[in-house]
């Protein structure tokens, strides 16, 4: 089976990337040093090719109505040019995916969903849209470059056309510039300031090269993962999936409580009535070692939890993790690593945000 490649594939090879199979895509894991790339984004600026993400445009008279059914968050909060993070639930309240939706104009939206869930998401859209006067189109001709870090915006202002730079200098967080050749959201997946730039595939390499000249460091998926983990941001398939509700994995804030006629709303209501028994927490290892996905946690009363994402944190220089634990979890917690039980402490997420450690 041949691997999918983004239009920046050659640019990665030229920059010395180590490529890996990421859900059927040949993507850069790093360009020599994952740690250096991580620090570049926390302290300065870095860029990621995220063209493997799936972009869907939605239009039609009942687009808003459709999204109110499809998503747990409330798209009526959106004004033109504003973005919203939401979960998309199945009828049991499990998470099909998490996504960002941008409102472009009345009943006109752009949605960015995960690459690994593309087929499942499109099939769900297809099935759900039949009752609505709305249609969606996948936009594979768009590439996407995320430029992230405290100095990311400054670098973008240098390389973008003057009229776009002018708009970017005034762009608020979680808003977008919607221009003919650029769609730029002040969003990201690193816990730092920055933008995600959607641009036609034909122009993507040119933009990438301009950003390189402006000394923006190319970063791979390795650094993207440690950055988002430090920022307490969920990864689909690990920190959430089809079997867990947003109320149990720290995403209750994405679920609206009024006018609840969305998919999975009934299941959520039921869960609230029965009592939510699980919660998401941050975990810090107090000794040497590494925390990994699927390791077991146990407290003094024998209650257990499970690590959903874990790694060494370059910013804090300790092992950190996100975990789903029992709501009544105790304070003396240990993690099982191989045959040992090592002490950990539970902390509030995020671990690091805007360059500042909360540990």
Indicate the range of 146-155, 198-207, 345-354 predicted with least confidence.
345-354
- Looking at every residue in the chain, the average pLDDT score rounds to 96
CB contact at 8 A, 316 and 353: no
- List the chain domain ranges: 277-357
Phi, psi of 9, deg, nearest 5: -55, -50
* Architecture field, domain 277-357: Beta Barrel (2.40)
Indicate the range of 174-178, 223-227, 258-262 predicted with least confidence.
258-262
Q: CA–CA distance from 311 to each of 27, 222, 243, 334 (Å)?
A: 20, 10, 24, 16
Count of beta carbons in the 10 Å neighbourhood of residue 69: 15
Which pLDDT belongs to residue 258? 80
Quick: pLDDT tens for 42-99.
999 999 999 999 999 999 999 999 999 999 999 999 999 999 999 999 999 999 999 9
Mean per-residue pLDDT, 27-32: 98
Mean per-residue pLDDT, 256-276: 93
Distance between CA 121 and CA 346 in Å, rounded? 34
Which pLDDT belongs to residue 331? 85
pLDDT at 351 over 70: yes
pLDDT at 2 over 90: no
Which pLDDT belongs to residue 77? 95
pLDDT at 136 over 80: yes
Distance between CA 178 and CA 193 in Å, rounded? 19
Confidence of residue 1 (pLDDT cuts 50, 70, 90): low
pLDDT at 253 over 70: yes
Quick: pLDDT tens for 83-133.
999 999 999 999 999 999 999 999 999 999 999 999 999 999 999 999 999
CB contact at 8 A, 121 and 14: no
7-34 burial, b at 16+ Cβ within 10 Å, e below that, comes to bbbebbeebebebeebeebbbbbbbeeb
pTM over 0.85: yes
Residue recorded with tokens 């959607």: 198
Alpha carbons within 13 angstroms on the beta-carbon side of residue 190 total 36
Quick: pLDDT tens for 297-344.
999 999 899 999 999 999 999 999 999 999 999 989 999 998 899 999
pLDDT at 354 over 90: no
pLDDT at 149 over 90: yes
Which pLDDT belongs to residue 359? 84
């Amino acid at each position: 089976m041949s691997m999918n490649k983004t239009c920046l594939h050659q640019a990665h090879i030229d920059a010395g990337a180590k490529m890996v199979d990421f859900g059927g895509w040949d993507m850069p894991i790093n360009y020599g040093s994952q740690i250096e790339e991580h620090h570049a984004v926390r302290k300065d600026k870095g860029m990621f090719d995220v063209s493997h993400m799936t972009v869907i445009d939605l239009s039609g008279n009942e687009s808003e109505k459709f999204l109110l059914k499809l998503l747990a968050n409330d798209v009526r909060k959106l004004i033109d040019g504003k973005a919203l993070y939401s979960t998309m639930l199945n009828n049991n309240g499990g998470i099909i995916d998490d996504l960002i939706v941008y409102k472009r104009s009345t009943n006109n939206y752009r949605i960015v969903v995960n690459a690994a869930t593309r087929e499942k998401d499109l099939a769900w859209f297809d099935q759900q849209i039949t009752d609505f006067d709305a249609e969606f189109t996948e936009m594979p001709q768009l590439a996407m470059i995320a430029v992230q870090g405290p100095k990311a915006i400054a670098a973008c202002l240098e390389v973008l056309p003057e009229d776009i730079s002018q708009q970017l200098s005034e762009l608020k967080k979680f808003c977008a510039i919607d221009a003919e050749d650029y769609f730029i959201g002040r969003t990201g997946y690193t816990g730092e300031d920055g933008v995600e730039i959607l641009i036609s595939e034909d122009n993507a390499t040119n933009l990438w090269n301009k950003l390189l000249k402006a000394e923006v460091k190319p970063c791979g998926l390795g650094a993207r993962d440690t950055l988002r983990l430090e920022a307490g941001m969920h990864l689909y398939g690990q920190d959430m999936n089809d079997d867990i509700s947003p109320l149990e994995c720290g995403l209750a804030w994405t679920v609206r409580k009024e006018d609840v006629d969305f998919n999975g709303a009934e299941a959520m209501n039921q869960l609230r009535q029965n009592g939510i028994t699980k919660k998401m927490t941050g975990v810090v290892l107090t000794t040497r070692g590494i925390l990994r996905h699927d390791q077991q946690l146990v407290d003094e009363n024998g209650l257990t939890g499970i690590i959903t994402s874990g790694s060494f944190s370059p910013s804090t220089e300790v092992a950190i993790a996100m975990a789903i634990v029992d709501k009544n979890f105790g304070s003396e917690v240990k993690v099982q690593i191989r045959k040992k039980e090592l002490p950990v402490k539970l902390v509030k997420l995020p671990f690091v945000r805007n360059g500042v450690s909360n540990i």
